[in-house]
Amino acid sequence: MEPHHRYGRSEVVDRAAHLLDEYGIADLTMRRLARELGLTPGALYWHFADKQELLGAVADRILEPAARPVADATWTARILAIGAALRDALLSSTDGAELVSATFASGRSAVLGRIVAQLVDAAGGAGFEPGTAELAARTVVYYVLGFTADEQSRLQWDAAGALTGTQSVWDSDPNGRFAFGLRLLVDGMSAQRQSGTQDGVDTGVAIPSA
């Protein structure tokens, strides 16, 4: 059997996700993954064109729980639920936010694309035009990624004993702080919805309530 046929694509992604969780994104290299699988680095390219495609597949594995549709809810409840689920998924793996941020920038995560589409649909339900709904959806994702990346960095520094004596309000009640920020975004969207302001231009017409 050819070396690259010893493992299916899903098995390779599983091992890569395990390496990420155990050692972090800095040590998730094609060379290390190949060594863990008992393959040559070149054999991995049978499954993945490059490292970015591999990282996108790992991101999809992490994000899948956050992509489940939120049904029978108001647009505000959907955005809050999707944002919370996305944060939970990112926190489930070491450096999850950093990994997903990289794949978001490169457009390599299909599952993250589905999550953005759900947020766009929710923003559309708030009365935003398609272009503005896309911007609103991505703003929510940027907030969740940024907050969670900071949160994971603080957890790592704390585990290393580097935060001793430097704790502040930013190191307490992360759930409350996250919910506050996400709610602030939703409230801002609601304010624009009521004022009729979109794309930074006051239309002078209030968007009708859904």
Cβ 39 vs Cβ 3: under 8 Å = yes
Q: What is the CA radius of gyration of the chain?
A: 20
Cβ burial 145-173 (10 Å sphere, 16+ → b, else e)? bebbbebbebeeeeeeeeeeeeeeeeeee
With a CB cutoff of 8 Å and minimum separation 6, the contacts of 84 are 178, 179, 182
List, in sequence order, the alpha helices (H) in the chain: 9-23, 30-37, 41-44, 51-63, 75-91, 96-106, 110-125, 130-159, 174-195
Instruction: Report if residue 54 sits inside a domain.
Output: no
User: Which pLDDT belongs to residue 6?
Assistant: 72
Q: Which domain holds residue 118?
A: 61-202
CA angle 133, 176, 78 (to 5 degrees): 30
Cβ 127 vs Cβ 194: under 8 Å = no
Q: Could you tell me if 100 and 142 lie in one domain?
A: yes
User: In angstroms, how far apart are the furthest CA atoms of the chain?
Assistant: 69
Backbone angles phi, psi at 201, to 5 degrees: -120, 130
CA distance 63 to 100: 9
Residue 157 has pLDDT above 50, yes or no: yes
User: Which pLDDT belongs to residue 208?
Assistant: 39
Instruction: Report if residue 80 sits inside a domain.
Output: yes
Q: Could you tell me if 87 and 43 lie in one domain?
A: no
* 166-185 residue pLDDT tens: 555 556 789 999 999 999 99
Q: Could you tell me if 26 and 97 lie in one domain?
A: no
Neighbours of 140 (CB within 10 A): 25
* 93-151 residue pLDDT tens: 999 999 999 999 888 899 999 999 999 999 999 999 999 999 999 999 999 999 999 99
Q: Could you tell me if 121 and 196 lie in one domain?
A: yes
Q: Could you tell me if 88 and 148 lie in one domain?
A: yes
The upper half-sphere exposure of residue 142, i.e. CA atoms within 13 Å in the direction of its Cβ, equals 8
Q: Could you tell me if 37 and 120 lie in one domain?
A: no
Into how many domains does the chain fold?
2
User: Which pLDDT belongs to residue 8?
Assistant: 87
Residue 45 has pLDDT above 50, yes or no: yes
Residue 73 has pLDDT above 90, yes or no: no
Q: Could you tell me if 78 and 15 lie in one domain?
A: no
Residue 160 has pLDDT above 90, yes or no: no
